[in-house]
């Protein structure tokens, strides 16, 4: 069983609850479980009362949908009342509470996510999720088309779990339903799409999932112009498991707008798409000049994306990582201390001094640069 701080305290307060979803799946797969969600036949108000009576903090984080967060030993655990869908619109659902565990499991997306587990370790598996997990099959619960029409995000979730757990050929019913429903992805917000794409591209070997996205037409909907073979080339270089780097390899399209990237993500992507001026045979002075102009993260990204696969490029990456980033030793205040007033002349002296510092391989110290600046006053 799983050992997490606070887990026993929650189960002691709500013994009727069962662990559900990803925690059960990963426990059975022998993977690390970082957080645990529960389902319970009790009403959310009762769950909160039970938790507080046990001295635990209870927060009504989504009480309209039956979700309460119990905080125990600094760890948050979501406890959601068993539900059934009353109405769906392709993204959101109107739910009603139930006390039927199978009915609650039937509304979940995939068989591997529809299992639950009691405190004593008994597994309830209504739809063959355990066998699917062992076989590496990602299969929708019930009718695949219906599951997708209830929530089109499930298309991307399919590829996320296929990238992590899939083995061999994908489930045929799932593929057919995805092809039929892929236009529904356009209903999703850019933020939700990017959140799922990141999860698809995070595992060590996402190429099979991305290739399947291409074959089903999903990749063109979410990342127009994306080419799986470009990702294959990046993976062949053994690049880091960085989803933004991988998406940059897939397509040259304007992702910052399409995926609503954060400012930091957009800046990094723009930096990676700059010209790679470095080559494996470059000397240390050239590397220092490059690092003075750009961050190591940007330079390494350019090398991963635009460089080759031979040992020389690998050595270049190692050399870059081992080179301390040089910092130009002068600032404007150093020149004002010499009597140069703020303005155009000060800026020009700094520019010429820095140009000389760069030309010399970024090794001149502050005193050398000060002496040069004095000669330009």
Residue 351, CB half-sphere, CA atoms under 13 Å: how many? Answer: 6
| pLDDT band, very low/low/confident/very high, at 4 (cuts 50, 70, 90) | confident
Q: Domain with 180 in it: what CATH number? A: 1.10.3090.10
Q: The CATH number of the domain where 17 resides is what?
A: 3.30.460.10
Q: Does residue 372 lie within any of the structural domains?
A: yes
Residues 151 and 37 in one domain: no
Note the pLDDT tens digit of each residue in 290-307: 999 999 999 999 999 999
The encoded tokens of residue 335 equal: 């020149």
Residue 278 is assigned to a structural domain of this protein = yes
Contact 330, 292 (CB under 8 A): no
Give the total number of structural domains in the chain. 4
Report the C-alpha gap between 173 and 24 in whole angstroms.
Answer: 24
pLDDT band for position 93 (cuts 50, 70, 90): low
What span, in angstroms and rounded, lies between the C-alpha atoms of 150 and 152?
7
Residues 191 and 279 in one domain: no
Give residue 86's pLDDT band: very low, low, confident or very high (50, 70, 90): low
Residues 6+ apart with CB under 8 A from 163: 200, 201, 202, 203, 205, 206, 208, 209, 210
- What's the confidence (pLDDT) of residue 88? 61
The reply to whether 93 falls in a domain is: yes
Q: Two tokens at 5? A: 């701080």
Tell me the per-residue pLDDT of 156-165, one tens digit each, with 9 for 90 and over: 999 999 999 9
Inside any domain, residue 103: yes
Whether residue 157 sits in one domain with residue 254: yes
pLDDT digits (tens, 9 = 90+) for 316-356: 999 999 999 999 999 999 999 999 999 999 999 999 999 99
Same structural domain, 56 and 125: yes
Q: Considering the entire predicted model, what is its pTM?
A: 0.89
Q: Check residue 331 and give its pLDDT.
A: 94
b/e per residue 58-97 (b: at least 16 CB within 10 A): beeeeeeebbbbbbbeeeebbbbbbbeeeebeeeebebeb
Q: In sequence order, which residues have a C-beta less than 8 Å from that of residue 92 and are 6 or more positions away?
A: 151
Same domain for 281 and 164: no
pLDDT at 64: 80
Domain span holding position 170:
141-260
**What confidence score (pLDDT) does residue 92 get?**
63
Q: In the structure, what pLDDT confidence band is assigned to residue 278 with cuts at 50, 70 and 90?
A: very high
Using the predicted structure, report yes or no on whether residue 90 has a pLDDT greater than 60: no
Instruction: Provide, rounded to the nearest whole percent, the portion of the chain with pLDDT above 90.
Output: 90
Task: Tell me if 269 is assigned to some domain.
Answer: no
Residues 6 and 121 in one domain: yes
Question: Does residue 268 form part of some domain?
Answer: no
Pick 71 or 377 by higher pLDDT: 71
Residue 86 sits in the same domain as residue 153: no
**N- to C-terminal Cα separation, the chain:** 74
Q: Are residues 6 and 127 in the same domain?
A: yes
Q: Among 294, 283, 287, 275, which residue's Cα sits nearest to residue 320? A: 287
Q: What rounded mean pLDDT belongs to the chain? A: 94
Give a yes or no: residue 267 inside a domain: no
């Amino acid at each position: 069983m799983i050992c997490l701080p606070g887990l026993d305290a929650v189960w002691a307060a709500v013994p009727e609850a069962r662990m559900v979803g990803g925690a059960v799946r990963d426990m059975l797969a022998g993977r690390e479980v970082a957080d645990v969600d529960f389902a319970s036949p009790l009403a959310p108000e009762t769950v909160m009362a039970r938790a507080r009576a046990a001295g635990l903090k209870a927060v009504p984080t989504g009480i309209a949908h039956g979700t309460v967060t119990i905080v125990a030993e600094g760890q948050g655990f979501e406890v959601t009342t068993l539900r059934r869908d009353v109405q769906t619109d392709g993204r959101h659902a109107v739910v009603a509470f139930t006390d039927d565990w199978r009915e609650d499991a039937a509304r979940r997306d995939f068989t591997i996510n529809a299992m639950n587990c009691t405190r004593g370790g008994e597994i309830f598996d209504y739809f063959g999720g355990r066998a699917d997990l062992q076989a590496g099959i990602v299969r929708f619960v019930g009718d695949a088309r219906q599951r997708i029409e209830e929530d089109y995000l499930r298309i991307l979730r399919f590829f996320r779990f296929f990238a992590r757990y899939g083995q061999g050929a994908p489930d045929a019913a799932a593929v057919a339903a995805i092809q039929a429903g892929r236009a529904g992805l356009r209903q999703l917000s850019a933020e939700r799409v990017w959140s799922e794409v990141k999860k698809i591209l995070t595992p060590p070997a996402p190429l099979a999932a991305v290739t399947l996205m291409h074959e089903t037409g999903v990749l063109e909907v979410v990342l127009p112009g994306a080419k799986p073979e470009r990702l294959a080339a990046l993976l062949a270089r053994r690049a880091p498991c960085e989803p933004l780097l991988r998406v940059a390899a897939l397509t040259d399209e304007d992702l910052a707008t399409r995926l609503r990237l954060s400012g930091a993500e957009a800046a990094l992507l723009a930096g990676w798409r700059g010209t790679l001026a470095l080559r494996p045979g470059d000397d240390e002075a050239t590397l220092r000049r490059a690092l003075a102009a750009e961050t190591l993260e940007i330079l390494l990204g350019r090398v991963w994306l635009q460089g080759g696969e031979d040992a020389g490029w690998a050595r270049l990456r190692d050399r870059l990582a081992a080179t301390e980033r040089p910092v130009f030793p002068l600032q404007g205040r150093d020149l004002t201390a010499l009597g140069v007033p703020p303005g155009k002349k000060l800026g020009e002296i700094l520019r010429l001094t820095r140009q000389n510092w760069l030309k010399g391989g970024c090794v001149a110290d502050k005193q050398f640069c000060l002496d040069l600046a004095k000669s330009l006053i």
